[in-house]
Amino acid sequence: SAVGRGPEVPFRSEAYGISAIARGKELRLTLSALDPAAGPPAQDLVFRFGMSGSFRLCPAAELPRHAHLRFLTRESPPRALCFVDPRRFGSWRLGDAWQPERGPCVVSEYQAFRENVLKNLEDRAFDKPICEVLLNQKYFNGIGNYLRAEILYRLKIPPFEKARTVLEALKEQEQERKKKDPSLTLSKKVKLRQENPDLLELCHSVPMEVIMAEKQLLDPEQPDNYSNFKNWLRCYLVPGMSSLRDRSGRTIWFQGEPGPMAPKGQRPRKAPRKKSPELKAEPEAPSPKVTPRAPKQRRRAAAKPSKLEEKEVKEEQEVKEEQEEKEEKEEQAGRPRKGRAGGRRTVSAAPASPEVPQSVRRSRRTSARRGTGAAPAV
């Protein structure tokens, strides 16, 4: 395409075939004419996919966006095999050479991959945390971000444990295994490793799970392929798991403690758990009206006088009784009472409300001051 960043492919043929072989994170395509005598010589291209690169077969009239390289078919209507890369992190180059700095493939060259790691543990690369070393394509060609999370999670290895500490233990285990029983057959060795796989074995078997199930997990033609892939994941982007950024800026997902070499100043973030779907409750019968608490308290206060009111009433009654006793004594002594003529009682209509004596008023004011700020007791 006009915006593609890769080199022009100098191959033109009316009828040709495409074959492919993978090694780690690289894919080599070979273009060869169906008639070698009449056509151009074979052309090799080596692709790297970056984070978003993929191949897609689609009608030539309906090219997807970001289809940067296209191989057309001769059928009618024609189709196009497209290298699609929305982020443009992927690339291709001419020639059949793999990148020299990449180690043996974890899938297709497992034994060479294992030996390459264990014999180079003195390399300074293994001074880093295991999660960062797993992305080093010199030793782990083919392992990417989601694979490293899944591998470490299955073995319960903290992602920021020192790589050499983890891998030297494997080297010792392998030497002890050979010493204990050198007569074990290959099939028994395979069975033992399948039952108790180590880190390097999972670097081979976990990618193989994806490859063997790629029709369900990664086929772009499947409408639910992403949901199938998400269901396969146990740790990467899974709700409830924690995440941190490593020193290269990549996010590692894990469970539990991050390990002694975790970056300082970062706090593990947890992926939010999915909310469980709430079932609709059946409509309930209308509940009886509940009277608010405050009116109830007021009604109780009205029905039953407070202690302060009881005290005031009692004081008023005592004053009234003292006054009556005083009047009776005065009558008995024959002395005229103050405000009345000749000791005769004048009968008059009772006042609508008895006048409260001055002493009672003072008592009420005093009691009110003492009780200021206190809620009436019920």
CATH of the domain at 20: 3.20.190.10
Structure confidence at residue 266 (pLDDT): 87
Give residue 40's pLDDT band: very low, low, confident or very high (50, 70, 90).
Answer: very high
Structure confidence at residue 19 (pLDDT): 96
Name the more confident of 147 and 1.
Answer: 147
Q: Please tell me whether residues 263 and 141 are part of one structural domain.
A: yes
Q: Please tell me whether residues 29 and 151 are part of one structural domain.
A: no
Which of 37, 68, 94 is a domain's end point?
A: 94
* Range 94-119 average pLDDT: 96
* Range 243-247 average pLDDT: 95
**Domain-located, residue 327:** no
Q: Please tell me whether residues 132 and 39 are part of one structural domain.
A: no
pLDDT of residue 349 exceeding 90, the answer is no
Q: Please tell me whether residues 69 and 21 are part of one structural domain.
A: yes
271, with CB counted inside 10 A (0-12, 13-18, 19+), is: middle
- Per-residue model confidence as pLDDT tens digits over 56-87: 999 999 999 999 999 999 899 999 999 999 99
**Domain-located, residue 21:** yes
Q: Please tell me whether residues 172 and 204 are part of one structural domain.
A: yes
Q: Kindly report the average pLDDT of the chain as a whole number.
A: 79
pLDDT of residue 376 exceeding 50, the answer is no
Structure confidence at residue 185 (pLDDT): 66
Structural domain that includes position 235? 110-270
Give residue 291's pLDDT band: very low, low, confident or very high (50, 70, 90).
Answer: very low
Q: What spatial distance separates the first Cα and last Cα of the chain, rounded to whole Å?
A: 88
- Per-residue model confidence as pLDDT tens digits over 183-199: 666 666 666 666 789 99
**Domain-located, residue 293:** no
The total number of structural domains that make up the chain = 2
Q: Please tell me whether residues 232 and 153 are part of one structural domain.
A: yes
* Measured distance CA(155)–CA(194) in Å, rounded: 13
Q: Please tell me whether residues 73 and 164 are part of one structural domain.
A: no
User: DSSP per residue over 229-285, as a string?
Assistant: HHHH-SSTT-TT-EEEE-TTS-EEEESS---TTPPTT---EEPPPPPPPPPPPPPPP
* Range 308-313 average pLDDT: 58
Block residue for tokens 């983890």: 166
**Domain-located, residue 216:** yes
pLDDT of residue 14 exceeding 80, the answer is yes
Q: Please tell me whether residues 54 and 173 are part of one structural domain.
A: no
Structure confidence at residue 4 (pLDDT): 81
Which of 42, 69, 94 is a domain's end point?
A: 94
**Domain-located, residue 101:** no
Which of 94, 129, 158 is a domain's end point?
A: 94
Structure confidence at residue 342 (pLDDT): 46
Q: Please tell me whether residues 131 and 262 are part of one structural domain.
A: yes
Structure confidence at residue 272 (pLDDT): 77
Q: Please tell me whether residues 38 and 141 are part of one structural domain.
A: no
Domain at 187, CATH number: 1.10.8.50
**Domain-located, residue 103:** no
DSSP state letter for 49: -
260, with CB counted inside 10 A (0-12, 13-18, 19+), is: exposed
Least confident of 19-28, 68-77, 117-126, 267-276: 267-276
Q: Please tell me whether residues 121 and 199 are part of one structural domain.
A: yes
Name the more confident of 338 and 146.
Answer: 146
* Measured distance CA(259)–CA(157) in Å, rounded: 9
**Domain-located, residue 278:** no
Q: How many CB atoms lie within 10 A of CB 166?
A: 20
pLDDT of residue 157 exceeding 70, the answer is yes
Q: Please tell me whether residues 264 and 116 are part of one structural domain.
A: yes
**Domain-located, residue 247:** yes
